[in-house]
Amino acid sequence: MKLTPDAHSRQDRAHRALMAEIDQNMRDTSAQTARSHLSPPVREALEKVNREDFVPVSRRQDAWNNYPLPIGYNQTISQPFIVALMTELLDLSPADRVLEIGTGSGYQTAILLQLAKEVFSIERIFALYEQAEVRLRPENTPTLHLRCGNGFSGWPEAAPFDAIIVTAAPETIPPALEQQLAENGRLVMPLGIPGLGQVLYRGVKHNGSLIMEAKLDVSFVPLIDNS
């Protein structure tokens, strides 16, 4: 559907307001995250990707609000600030290959595609995988690889990855993901049990060992092992 000039203007204002709120969130949490602002490439990616395209039609009026939204199947599209922070913590370069566990609506995937050389994304729920594939089809170049499968297994034939991002929370790090992370690779993921406390972690693989650092208390849907 083509937007009217007034609708474009409202959308632009809402997007700018959201970016200002994310900037404030970054400053407010910098003592925990050690990141007080977004890098220019991450900011540009967030400004380029239209969140309205990745939420259900019935919730598009809420797309520019800084909170998660349901996307069906007991899953959510993450809060924009958390998407921004997790992307920032990946420290991506244009040559990086990224594995994403939990495609969901495809919003985080679309942002990763602006920043990395290749993105491999896995979604366990087939209906969400199909929807994301349609939404991301304009970006479906050789740089994008989508799969419906078990995130706990990772994508072994495409490993190693320079960065791995997990958008749902397991209780512990799946061993396959640690194995598939390249030396000096970065892992950003939540860990914990829903309702009992979850923490966002950033890990770096050094000399074959993964060194994890807690960043921020968060709330995510659980990562399900459907093997």
Active site residues: 78
Burial 11-26 (b: 16+ CB within 10 A, else e): beebbeebbeebbebb
Strands 161-166 and 181-192, bridge-based pairing:
parallel
Burial 33-58 (b: 16+ CB within 10 A, else e): bebeebeeebbebbeebebbebbeee
Q: Give the tokens for residue 172.
A: 């512990």
Give strand ranges (E) for the chain. 69-72, 75-77, 97-101, 118-123, 144-148, 161-166, 181-192, 198-206, 209-218
